[in-house]
Structure formats: C-alpha cells, structure tokens
C-alpha cells in the first residue's frame, strides 16, 4: 500500500475512533445527568406562523421533584389527543386559552381542569368537548394570537380565558407587542420565522425534549455565576425596580404602571371578545387564584410587612375590566380559601402550580357557572 492511501486509512480510523469516543462520552454524560441531577425537559415548538406551542406529536414524561406526569401533544402542538376538524355536528366545543395553569403539565391528563370539565358535562343534551390550548408563558396577547390562528378551524361555542393573575398583567405590559390606541388595542402580528430560523428552532426543540444533558448545560450557562466572573454579558432585567408587580397587585389605588397594564389588558380582553364573537362564541374569564392569597400563613407574612394590602384586589381589578367588556367572570378564590383553611392542599409546595385537587376545584367552579348561565341563543352545554 502506498503512503497516501495508508495515511488516509489511518486518518479515517482516527476520526472514527474520535467520533465513537465522543458519542460514548456524551452518552455517559447523559446517563449521569439523568441519574444524578435529572432535568425537566422542554417542549417548546415554534410554528411557521411564529407562535410558540409544543412539539407536535410528542409523548414524554414531565418530571420534577414533587411529581411525574405523562404528557402528550397532538399534531397542532397542544396538550391532549387530536381535535376533530371540522367540529362534529351538534358538539358544544370550549376552547381553554392561557398559560401553564391550563396547560397543567404538573398533573396527569385526566386530572387537568379541561378534562375534568369535559367529563362533568358529559351526558347532557349535547356532546361537549373542552380543548386545552394552554401554553406555558402565554399572556393575553398570545391567547389572542392562538384564537385568531386556530379559532376558524376549531369552531368554538365558548372561549374560556384562564387568566393568571401572577403573570398575565406583567406579560401584557412588558412584551410591548400590543399598544392602546384611540380605536382600541393594536398588536403587531407574530413575526413569521425564516426557514433557516425555523430549522434552528426545531433543532433546539429536539435537543430540549430529548437530552437532559442539553437542558443541564443550558441551565449552567444561564446561571448568574458566569455574569459575576465576566464570562457572559449581563442580561437585561425583565422588570425594572419601577415595575415590581408582586405586592403592587394588592394595592388600591394601583401604581401608575399597573394602571397602564390594566388598561392594556382591558383592551386585549375586548379584542378577544370580538374575535370570539366572529366565531359565534362567547368569551369567559377564569381567574386563577394566587397562592399568597389562598394560604393564610403566606398572606399573613405579606400583611405584616404592609397591612394596607387588599387580599382580593387582583380579582376586583380584573373583574372590573372584564365587566366593562361585558364578560362573565369565574372566581374560585372563595372556594380555594375555604378549602385551604380546612387543611386541603391545592398547590404544589415547590413547583407552585395547581396540584390535582386545585385543578379539580377550578373545574367544579367552571361547571357550576356553566350550569347557572345560558349562553347566547340557548346554547347550553
């Protein structure tokens, strides 16, 4: 064998050995992370329309220190089974919009509020479907995007906005995608990603969903430690000192910035109402109670710091702007407080989201409201 082919063969062997060694090292590191420091995997997926949903068709287990819940996503990228398109004749269909509280990955699918509502309404005069369109991190502007994008295909009879008092006001104001104008609220359309960006985003989604090593590496490199030693640039604060939200949610009157957030949210609710009406549906608002409001020890700690805070002020503020838009409101806070006082746990201790009991109580409140109120045209579920 001549010198050139021999050198080429040796180079190929070395490259193959290096590739095998690298793959083995990565596999070993992946196993180590899964065994020693398991990471929550991600499910975010960017659509061609620029919307954030979940990885379509993905089945996995969402695991944290307090729970382990099997999750599945349909081909549209939402939690649960496939949605019939077009809607089956005679079916009363509810679309549930919102963030992680309606997404409910902290509980098994049958324990999510959407599934519980659907089961509770089964056996009535019409078949009822409750579709879970919740996505972690979504605000009211995102809910509007989802309804505009999927509403025509899913044909709702009722749109239920699951409003997170802790996050939605902040999201609506700080994302700065929607602005109040003299004609109401104007929102920029979601930016449609380029083909190259879409490929890159989907590659990241695959890694987030498949590799806990990748998730651990991401978490490590976003740690403030790297900023402190100068190896990563400072990340801009999402909320400056002038916009703490938090305790301000319980103040009456609200600070000026929070009044702006409420005014913008009122405009967004009006836009959602109008969009729902275009599909022949009514919009309802479901207020998710804050844990600080529900649990007496947590509220007592706040009240000691500032006795003037009002425990139900967030509900009062959102209810006022919902009623200004002619929207029914479901408020589970009284039921949550009564159950918590009786010793019933409704939130996960560490994760902070609703547990299966909290999801059940929310569903019961919605079902009771549905039974008590006729929808337009007598379309009672």
pLDDT of residue 221: 64
Per the structure, the complete domain to which residue 334 belongs is given by 44-211+244-378
| Residue 30 within a domain | no
Reported as a pLDDT band with limits 50, 70 and 90, residue 15 is confident
Closest CA to 147 of 293, 12, 272, 296: 272
Q: Please check the confidence at residue 85 and state whether its pLDDT lies above 70.
A: yes
| 160 found inside a domain | yes
With a threshold of 0.95, does the pTM exceed it? no
Q: Give a yes or no: residue 325 inside a domain.
A: yes
Tell whether 238 is covered by a domain: no
Q: 343-358 pLDDT, tens per residue?
A: 999 999 999 999 999 9
CATH number of the domain that 135 lies in? 3.40.50.1110
Tens of pLDDT, residues 299-333: 999 989 899 999 999 999 999 999 999 999 999 99
Q: Show the CA angle centred on residue 128, arms to residues 320 and 136, nearest 5°.
A: 55
For the residues 28-33, what does the mean pLDDT come to? 70
Residue 231 banded pLDDT, cuts 50, 70, 90: very low
Mean pLDDT of the chain: 88
What is the band of 361 on the pLDDT scale with cuts at 50, 70, 90? very high
Give 83: exposed, middle or buried? Use CB within 10 Å, 0-12, 13-18, 19+: buried
Mean pLDDT of 184-210: 90
In a domain, 156, yes or no: yes
pLDDT of 182 reads: 81
Domains held by the chain: number: 1
Domain-located, residue 239: no
Whether residue 100 lies inside any domain: the answer is: yes
In the prediction, which pLDDT does 367 show? Answer: 96
C-alpha pair distances (Å), 187 with each of 141, 176, 182, 256: 8, 9, 13, 22
- In angstroms, the CA 186 to CA 322 distance is 18
Percent of the chain with pLDDT over 90: 70
Q: Tell me, what's the pLDDT at 1?
A: 53
Statement: residue 226 has pLDDT above 60: no
Q: Is residue 20 part of a domain?
A: no
Q: Name the β-bridge partners of 163.
A: 287
Is the model's pLDDT at 225 over the cut of 50?
A: no
Contacts 24+ apart (CB under 8 A), 10-17: none
Mean pLDDT of 154-158: 97
């Amino acid at each position: 064998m001549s010198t050139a082919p021999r050198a080429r063969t040796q180079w190929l062997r070395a490259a193959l050995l290096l590739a095998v060694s690298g793959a083995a090292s990565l596999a070993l590191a992946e196993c180590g992370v899964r065994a020693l420091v398991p990471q929550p995997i991600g499910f975010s997926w960017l659509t061609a329309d620029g919307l954030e949903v979940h990885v379509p068709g993905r089945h996995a287990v969402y695991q944290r220190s307090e729970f382990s819940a099997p999750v599945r996503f349909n081909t549209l990228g939402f939690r649960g089974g496939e949605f019939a398109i077009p809607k089956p004749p005679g079916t009363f269909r509810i679309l549930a919009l919102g963030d992680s509280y309606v997404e409910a990955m902290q509980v098994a699918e049958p324990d999510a509020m959407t599934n519980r509502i659907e089961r509770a309404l089964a056996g009535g005069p019409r078949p009822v479907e409750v579709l879970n369109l919740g996505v972690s991190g979504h605000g009211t502007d995102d809910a509007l995007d989802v309804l505009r994008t999927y509403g025509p295909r899913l044909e709702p009879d009722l749109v239920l906005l699951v409003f997170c008092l802790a996050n939605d006001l902040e999201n609506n104001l700080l994302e700065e995608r929607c602005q109040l104008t003299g004609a109401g609220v104007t929102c920029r359309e979601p930016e449609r990603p380029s083909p190259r960006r879409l490929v890159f985003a989907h590659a990241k989604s695959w890694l987030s969903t498949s590799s806990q090593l990748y998730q651990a590496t991401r978490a490590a490199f976003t740690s403030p430690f790297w900023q402190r030693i100068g190896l990563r640039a400072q990340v801009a604060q999402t909320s400056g000192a002038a916009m703490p939200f938090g305790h301000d949610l319980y103040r009456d009157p609200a600070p000026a910035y929070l009044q702006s957030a409420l005014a913008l949210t009122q405009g967004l609710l009006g836009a959602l109402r109008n969009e729902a009406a275009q599909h022949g549906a009514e919009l309802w608002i479901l207020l998710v109670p804050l844990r600080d409001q529900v649990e007496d020890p947590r509220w007592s700690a706040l009240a000691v710091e500032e006795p003037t805070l009002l425990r139900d002020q967030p509900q009062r503020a959102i209810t006022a702007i919902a009623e200004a838009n002619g929207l029914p409101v479901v408020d589970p806070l009284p039921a949550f407080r009564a159950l918590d006082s009786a010793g019933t746990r409704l939130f996960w201790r560490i994760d902070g989201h609703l547990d299966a009991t909290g999801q059940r109580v929310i569903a019961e409140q919605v079902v009771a409201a549905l039974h008590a109120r006729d929808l337009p045209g007598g379309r009672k579920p």
